[in-house]
Chain A
Amino acid sequence: MTMSSSTGETKVVSLYQSQKKIYAKEVSGRFNRIRWFMVFFTQAIFYGLAWVPWNGRQAVLFDLGARKFYIFDWVFWPQDVLYLAFILIVSAYLLFFVTAIAGRIFCGYACPQTVYTEIFMWVENRFEGDRAARMRLDQAPMSWNKLWRKGGKHLSWVLIGLWTGFTFVGYFTPIQTLAQSVLTLSTGPWETFWIFFYGFATWGNAGFMREQVCKYMCPYARFQSVMFDRDTMIVTYDGERGEPRGGRKKNVDAKALDLGSCVDCSLCVQVCPTGIDIRDGLQYECIGCSACIDVCDTVMDKMNYPRGLIRYSTENALEQHWDAAAIRKHMLRPRILIYFAVLVLLVGGLFASLALRNPLRVDVIRDRQVLAREVDGRYIENVYKLHVMTTAETTQRLRISAEGMADIAVARGGEVLVEPASTTTAVLAVRIPIDTAKPGSHPIRFNIQSESDSAIRVSEKSAFLVPR
């Protein structure tokens, strides 16, 4: 951005402040416990789910090498991409719905950026100590003490990063085989690359980028504001109660000193992972992690003041002094009900469509190389290519019959064997007795039926060509 100074010179001013490293103080309290619960919950799923077996294979596997996606009982082919697009839409919608009610609760508790930053900061605190000790250590010249603390931290970070990268790749290539090849140092070049790439990204994002990802890079952080309204839950500072702020001794009468409840200890700023002062009001940098709520509550406890000077509330509630019941009542506003209705429809539609999905898919292509031909002087024969695809997880023996013309019969290839969740092609020859149909193209229909499961069947249209 260019600005003119008073001297008439033009000088360039960066749109962004120069980056100051943020030393967030460790915090404890009920919201912090919820966040740590979410860290364990989400990471137990991420690190654990890759190892869960299902139907003799990995339960959740996006097998890129085989171009097949497995999600528990479901098998998806590339042709099913619409389902995955649909799942993404549902996830996005769920995020909108939650955001409209509870603000950036996803950012503060479940976003991988937050979760890994939380884990990495925990490691950092173990090696380098609390906020003040970390600041001193960064100022200090290099020493053995600094070397082992920094070195130990980075070693731990790198190990967590690599494990994360390994797990990530384990969702795209079977993790059991991947683990074996990692142990024998024989991973393929692309797997090796992705393990290191994802590990490096984890290390960089959670170790260094941290809040900058949320502040400058994340599109969601910016566009979520359109889902906010005055009844959305946000982290708020009760200025009316807190101001005028100021230090005071414990047990003095704040009213006599003409002071509000805020003791101006600045702890809320010190714990903030994005380095803002929540007392300045709602800011786009606030990720709703409520570390400031936890720390302020401990201060309020010490001062024997009621908790909640900083609390989850809504803009309306703060202005109109609503209690929790009133906030809950305003939660069910038209916007939320509409979001909810659409969400239910989408999820219902998705599951209905998945439940009704035919496990068998057949494409019949008339072989254009071989035109209709006469066989044994008694029949007219047409040849077709069958492309069969199944998502059933047992081997299927399929019987194919034709209908639509008098005495039409399958001469060859009337039986096809398909391996579980696989594709196969087969050549099919169909005959009619000579002189029973006029020359030209006749519509026919193929019925493909599984021998073992009567529900697995499909009917395909095609055409039979009779030559002149």
Chain B
Amino acid sequence: MKWDVATLGTVFWPAFLGAALLDGLVFTLVDPATIEVFGYQNVSRQAAYTVGFFTFWIVIMAASAATLWLHRIQTASTTGSSSR
């Protein structure tokens, strides 16, 4: 399948919005200054917000891309067999 700009865009953008929402929600509930990451206590808030945002974005993008890919394979195999 072709991963052109238009296809990648459909993966990037909704995932971006989702990540922004999730980042806002998670860090509203949790103050990064009060958490401990691998025993490291001085987590800077800005760092946590940023790393959190990109982690969410990457994970959501990966899930969206996987869905898109599986869906295309499925569509391709069903239309392929029915037309033969």
A18–B4 CA distance with the chains assembled, in angstroms: 8
Q: Whole-angstrom distance from the CB of A47 to the nearest CB of chain B?
A: 21
A59-95 CB mask vs B (1 if < 8 Å, else 0) is 0000011010000000000100100000000000000
28 pairs, CB–CB < 8 Å, chain A vs chain B: A1-B79, A2-B75, A2-B79, A2-B80, A3-B79, A4-B83, A10-B80, A12-B2, A16-B6, A16-B7, A65-B46, A78-B28, A78-B29, A78-B31, A81-B28, A173-B46, A190-B47, A190-B49, A209-B9, A215-B6, A216-B5, A216-B7, A217-B9, A217-B12, A217-B13, A218-B13, A219-B14, A219-B17
B2-30 CB mask vs A (1 if < 8 Å, else 0) is 10111101101110010000001100110
Beyond the given A1-B76, A212-B5, A212-B9, please list 12 additional residue pairs across the A-B interface where CB-CB is below 8 A.
Answer: A2-B75, A2-B76, A4-B83, A12-B1, A14-B2, A16-B4, A18-B4, A65-B46, A67-B45, A81-B24, A209-B9, A213-B9
Is A188 close to B, CB under 8 A? yes
Cβ–Cβ contact A64 & B4, under 8 A: no
A193–B50 CA distance with the chains assembled, in angstroms: 9
How many residues on B have C-beta within 8 angstroms of the other chain's C-beta atoms?
29
In the complex, how many residue pairs between chain A and chain B have their CB atoms under 8 Å apart?
Answer: 72
A64–B28 CA distance with the chains assembled, in angstroms: 10
Q: Which residues of B contact A173 (CB under 8 A)?
A: 46
**A64 is contacted by which of B7, B9, B46, B76 (Cβ under 8 Å)?**
B46
Chain A: CB-nearest residue to B17: A219
Cβ–Cβ contact A190 & B4, under 8 A: no
Listed from nearest, the 6 A-B pairs whose CB atoms lie closest are: A190-B46, A217-B9, A217-B13, A216-B6, A16-B6, A2-B76
Chain A: CB-nearest residue to B2: A14
By size class, the interface of chain A is 20 to 34
A10–B2 CA distance with the chains assembled, in angstroms: 15
Decide: A65 near B4, CB < 8 A? Known: A1-B75, A78-B28.
no
Cβ–Cβ contact A19 & B14, under 8 A: no
**A19 is contacted by which of B5, B10, B45, B46 (Cβ under 8 Å)?**
B5
Binding site for A on B (CB under 8 A): 1-2, 4-7, 9-10, 12-14, 17, 24-25, 28-29, 31, 44-47, 49-50, 75-76, 79-80, 83-84
Q: Give chain A interface residues in 356-386, CB to chain B under 8 Å.
A: none
Is A194 close to B, CB under 8 A? yes
Decide: A19 near B44, CB < 8 A? Known: A4-B84, A190-B50.
no
Q: Give chain A interface residues in 158-190, CB to chain B under 8 Å.
A: 173, 188, 190
A14–B2 CA distance with the chains assembled, in angstroms: 7
A192-223 CB mask vs B (1 if < 8 Å, else 0) is 01100000000000000100110111110000
A153–B53 CA distance with the chains assembled, in angstroms: 32
Binding site for B on A (CB under 8 A): 1-4, 8, 10, 12, 14-16, 18-19, 64-65, 67, 78, 81, 173, 188, 190-191, 193-194, 209, 212-213, 215-219
Q: Whole-angstrom distance from the CB of A68 to the nearest CB of chain B?
A: 12
A335–B1 CA distance with the chains assembled, in angstroms: 43
A78–B76 CA distance with the chains assembled, in angstroms: 47
Q: Which residues of B contact A1 (CB under 8 A)?
A: 75-76, 79
Q: Which residues of B contact A193 (CB under 8 A)?
A: 50
Chain B: CB-nearest residue to A78: B28
Q: Which residues of B contact A212 (CB under 8 A)?
A: 5-6, 9
Chain A: CB-nearest residue to B51: A190
**B10 is contacted by which of A64, A65, A216 (Cβ under 8 Å)?**
A216
Q: Whole-angstrom distance from the CB of B3 to the nearest CB of chain A?
A: 10
Q: Which residues of A contact B2 (CB under 8 A)?
A: 12, 14
Q: Whole-angstrom distance from the CB of B19 to the nearest CB of chain A?
A: 13
Q: Whole-angstrom distance from the CB of B70 to the nearest CB of chain A?
A: 15
Q: Which residues of B contact A81 (CB under 8 A)?
A: 24-25, 28
Q: Which residues of B contact A2 (CB under 8 A)?
A: 75-76, 79-80
Cβ–Cβ contact B50 & A194, under 8 A: yes
Q: Which residues of B contact A10 (CB under 8 A)?
A: 80
A173–B24 CA distance with the chains assembled, in angstroms: 16
**A14 is contacted by which of B4, B9, B28, B80 (Cβ under 8 Å)?**
B4
Cβ–Cβ contact A19 & B28, under 8 A: no
Q: Which residues of A contact B80 (CB under 8 A)?
A: 2, 4, 10
Q: Which residues of A contact B76 (CB under 8 A)?
A: 1-2, 12
Cβ–Cβ contact A217 & B10, under 8 A: yes
A13–B77 CA distance with the chains assembled, in angstroms: 14
Q: Whole-angstrom distance from the CB of B8 to the nearest CB of chain A?
A: 9
Q: Which residues of A contact B75 (CB under 8 A)?
A: 1-2
Chain A: CB-nearest residue to B76: A2
Q: Which residues of A contact B45 (CB under 8 A)?
A: 64-65, 67
Q: Whole-angstrom distance from the CB of A379 to the nearest CB of chain B?
A: 35
A14–B84 CA distance with the chains assembled, in angstroms: 20
Which among B1, B14, B17, B46 has the highest number of chain A CB atoms within 10 Å?
B46
Q: Which residues of A contact B49 (CB under 8 A)?
A: 64, 190
Chain B: CB-nearest residue to A66: B45
Which among B9, B14, B47, B84 has the highest number of chain A CB atoms within 10 Å?
B9
